Structure 1
Amino acid sequence: MTDPQIALLMLGLFIFIILLGFPIAFTLMAMGVGFGFYAYFQADQSFFDNRVFYLLSQNTFSVMNSDILVAIPLFLFMGYMIERSNILDQLFMSLQVAFRRVPGAMALAALVTCALFATATGIVGAVVTLMGLLAFPAMLKARYDTQISAGVICAGGTLGILIPPSIMLIVYGATAGVSVVKLYAAALIPGFLLAGLYMFYVVTRALMNPNLMPKLPKDEAGGLGFIEVLVLLAKAFLPLAALIMSVLGAILFGLATPSEAAAIGALGSVLLAVAYRAMSWQKLREAVYLTARTSAMVCYLFVGSWLFSSIFSYLGGEHVVKEFVLGLDLNTVTFLLLTQLIIFILGWPLEWSEIIIIFVPIFLPLLEHFGVDPILFGILIALNLQTSFLTPPMAMSAYYLKGVAPPQVQLAAIFKGCLPFVSMVFIAMAAVYIVPGTVTWLPELLYSR
């Protein structure tokens, strides 16, 4: 077999092994070392003089020494502390009261709460699970349609992948070698567009069929006046929103790097937990443990993927993929459609981190040939990855919600509730395709100089 054929065998074998359920990071490292030993083998060398071991140590050092990746554990810690601050129930209740005169008030309150909480934590499973315990039973008790209620929780919980400060965008920035700050600026308009489409769909369905989302009785909606509602929002909504906006604003306006802003956010989350009287040694220890575990997973993925991709490229696999795609005689639009279709399919069995770190680098060398801005490409991927959490048969958001939903709620109903929101994602992606300025305008405005 030729080296390029060995590279393709390496890629196919990797996909087969991870589908069997083996740990992805260690599979990447093991296959990188194994195939790398073959690639660099010299008959007159001793076993440990093979250059693949030097490459492994260098990749490990590069990952651990990366300034960009420092922001990941800090943002994770911020998210885990906010998750334990007991702010979610107060936030949902205050928004529900504020929206009480709007059709689909509880669904809108759940969407805004999910979006804000997902933005603060960036952890889809945590948001969907907590909202599934808090808001989902309340919506069912208010006689809301089960499918719509499930779709709202699942779709709202995934918005943290896209809306800054998104950990996924940090990982993409490190992988593609583009500015995280520009990615954050580029993601704002598409993120709010998608959240707005979700809300538009909810209000439209409520107006078309009020029985799907009936208005709350006055005694449950609360007979609070305007000032009292403002006080509620000030206590529950403003502190978390202020923390997120201060972190994001510091990054976008150049007052701090993402790592520095993440450090301020981590400190702010601790102060928020203290202010809400939710701070304890046990919660702090849990947040530190979960942060360390998730950060280690991301770092191991980077080490393994960089080793794997280096060997894959050295054997000529990247050249084979590039020549194959170029041989299809695609234009820019069809190239984007093809890549997004592949990522959409990969989203069924794989997590977003694995897609970004392992498979996206295969497409990155082709962007220059097709004249695609890597920032625009990254935002399209971030939009696309929303669907991986919402599309059967591997819609992880649906499984998270099913795990905490009342027994009578069927998984099929949750799947059906997610599908209309998947269509909203496709509409948002189409808008970005048609009007790329939705992505490029804000970065050019802020950083053109």
Structure 2
Amino acid sequence: AASGTLAQIIPPSLVLIIMADQLGRSVGDMYKGAMIPGLVLSAIYAGYVFLITIVKPDAAPALPKEARTLGSGVASLLLVIVAAAGVFYAASLWIKSIHPDMDADNNAVWSASIAILFSYVLALVNQKLKLGMLSHLASQVVIVLVPPLALIFLVLGTIFVGIATPTEGGAMGALGALILAISKRKLNLTLLKQAMDTTAKLSSFVVFILLGARVFSLTFYGVNGHTWVEHMLTSLPGGQVGFLLVVNLFVFVLAFFLDFFELAFIIIPLLGPAAEKLGIDLIWFGIILGVNMQTSFMHPPFGFALFYLRSVAPKSEYIDRVTNKLMAPITTGQIYMGAIPFVVIQVIMVGLVILIPSMVMVYKSGGVHLDQKQMEQQLKEIAPPAGDDAPPPLKF
């Protein structure tokens, strides 16, 4: 359940797209800034699970011997990974030689695409011609993983490279998903109807939230409520640190009762101007709030990840198919108690992003970044022509 919430902070994330829109920032920059915090949070999750296996082995028992089927296939899989890494390095050097002006992010995206394509072709040739170069495990892992990775590239890679906007990237992702479903012969009218029905419900849900948020905003702005909120937040003691502490505590409490859509469309527009006035980088601010709002999926009473886990967790005693042992059911209370450490980890991660902003600021490395205030000043200097006068020259 906790690992599922990583989708809210690791690209391609819908939360980050909405956050970028509400804060008036680039989705690509938001994605770049979220990469390191997302990977660090994943590593902390893995470290916590590893620690639990040492301190309390019964909480995460090892697989029984009869269920351990990896065998020697792991070595072959590692060789494929090493070969793909070599292709990635060689491709990056080749791309840099023919396009020396390409920035590091675009180079990495294209190099990774070449490395993934190499692995997929190698696995397919090995499987079709029965060459025996790869183990069954390595072949299956590559063949199963590469299509979803290609789908991610259609959405995320095209946004990073600048080929597509978030809307266009989402459309290409949907088209890619349809092609994958057709190629695997898993697409039928029933599944298509279910997908369209779910999409319509989610879209209606978001549209009505937008309508409600707009009505609230017009009313609130009509009585100058936004000015009062901005003045209150910018007057908090402690400057930027005090503002971040109060805002994150406020968002954390609201996340107990509101979904991230409500928080993003109602609360973020009120917080953004105050953060910008205090000199806070809005990409950094958005990532902090994104990590914070992850907790809304993990704590009661509206933790959706916990509800999903409850729907698949056994509610009564059952016989384990591998060991043939009688297993006890999992209660809702156990699920809630098990989620507490991961909520604490998410809160710790919020603190780390605040204390180490350089994790996010890597989005500024490479490329050309335009300053909004500088652009506004340049536009003001361009006076409109009067009568038959020639337009003034542009000043840059």
TM-score, normalization by structure 1: 0.63
Q: Write the distance in 2 (CA, Å) between the matches of 1:251 and 1:402.
A: 35
Please name the residue that 1:170 is paired with. 17
Structure 2 residue corresponding to 1:285, chosen from 175, 193, 198: 193
Q: Say if 2:280 is the partner of 1:433.
A: no
2:141 aligns to what?
233
Output aligned runs, 1:2-401, within 5 Å: 154-226=1-73, 227-401=135-309
Partner SS state of residue 256, structure 1: coil
Distance 2:235 2:29 in 1: 33
The 2-side partners of 1:331 and 1:223 are apart by: 55
- In 1: Cα distance, 2:210 partner to 2:181 partner: 32
| Residue of structure 1 in register with 2:334 after alignment | 413
Distance 2:56 2:330 in 1: 21
Helix, strand or coil for the counterpart of 1:158? helix
Structure 2 SS opposite 1:364: helix
Change in CA separation of 1:301 and 1:393 when aligned onto 2, cut-off 3 Å: closer
Residues 448 and 390 of structure 1: CA distance in aligned 2, closer, same or farther (over 3 Å): same
Deviations 1:244-291 (A, max 9, x none): 134211111212222222221111111221233211111112112211
Q: Could you give the per-residue CA deviations for residues 311-348 of structure 1, whole angstroms, max 9, x where no partner exists?
A: 21121111222233344334101100100111100101
Counterpart-to-counterpart distance in 1, 2:153 and 2:188: 26
Look up the equivalent residue of 1:429 and give its one-letter code: V
CA–CA distance in 2 between the matches of 1:404 and 1:214?
20
**Aligned-residue offset at 1:219:** 2.5
Distance in 2 separating the partners of 1:390 and 1:179: 28
Q: Larger Cα Rg: Structure 1 or Structure 2?
A: 2
- Residues 288, 350 of structure 2: 8 Å contact kept: yes
The Cα shift of 1:447 comes to: 4.7
Which whole-Å CA distance do the structure 1 matches of 2:136 and 2:224 have between them? Answer: 66
Q: 1-side partners of 2:292 and 2:174: how far apart?
A: 29
- Compute the RMSD of aligned alpha carbons: 1.8
Q: CA deviation at 1:413?
A: 0.7
CA distance in 2, matches of 1:334, 1:232: 52
Shift of 1:224: 4.2
Cα gap change, 1:236/1:265 in structure 2, threshold over 3 Å: closer, same or farther?
A: same
Please state which structure has a larger fraction of its residues in helix.
1
Match of 1:58 in 2: none
Gaps of 5+ in 2: 74-134, 316-328, 371-396
1:97-154 Cα shifts (integer Å, max 9, x gaps): xxxxxxxxxxxxxxxxxxxxxxxxxxxxxxxxxxxxxxxxxxxxxxxxxxxxxxxxx1
1:220-264 residue CA offsets vs partner (Å, 9 max, x unmatched) = 121543222211212322221232134211111212222222221
Q: For the structure 1 residues 311 and 429, does the alpha-carbon distance in structure 2 shift closer, same or farther, using more than 3 Å as the test?
A: same
Q: Secondary structure at the match of 2:153?
A: helix
Structure 1 gaps of 5+ residues are 1-153
Amino acid at match of 1:277: R
Secondary structure of the 2:17 match is helix
Letter in 1 for 2:151: L
Q: Displacement of 1:355 after TM fit?
A: 0.5
Amino acid of the structure 2 residue aligned with 1:202: V
Secondary structure of residue in 1 paired with 2:366: helix
Q: Distance in 2 between matches of 1:345 and 1:384?
A: 10
Cα separation, 2, equivalents of 1:178 and 1:299: 21
Structure 1: distance between partners of 2:42 and 2:70: 29
In the alignment, residue 363 of structure 2 is paired with which amino acid?
Answer: L
Q: Which amino acid aligns with 1:160?
A: A
SS in 2 for 1:409: coil
Change (3 A) 1:223 1:200: closer
Q: Is the partner of 2:365 in helix, strand or coil?
A: helix
CA distance in 1, matches of 2:239, 2:215: 31
TM-score, normalization by structure 2: 0.71
Shifted more, 433-442 versus 299-308: the winner is 299-308
In the alignment, residue 332 of structure 1 is paired with which amino acid? Q
Q: Which has the higher contact order (CA 8 A, sep 6+)?
A: 1
